[in-house]
Amino acid sequence: MEHNVLFYCVKCEQLKTLEQAGVVFRTGYFRNLYPLGCCVACGNVSR
C-alpha cells in the first residue's frame, strides 16, 4: 500500500513521498512500481 504514496526523484535518485513531489512524470516507472518525478526541493534549485 505504501507504494502508492511514493515516487522516485530523478535528481535526488531517491524515493520520496508524493507530498514532496513538485512534478510527477506519467511516462516512466522506477522498478515498475514508483512513478518518476522531481521533488519540490530539486525544483527549487532547477536553475
Q: Which is nearer to Zn ion, 11 or 24 (CB)?
A: 11
As measured in angstroms, the least distance from the Cβ of 2 to Zn ion is 19
Q: How far does Cα 11 stand from its chain's mean position?
A: 9
Instruction: Provide CB contacts within 8 A for 44, sequence distance 6+.
Output: 22
Q: Which is nearer to Zn ion, 27 or 44 (CB)?
A: 44
Pairing of strands 14-17, 34-39: unpaired
For Zn ion, the binding residues (CB under 5 A) are 9, 11-12, 39, 42
Q: Which is nearer to Zn ion, 33 or 41 (CB)?
A: 41
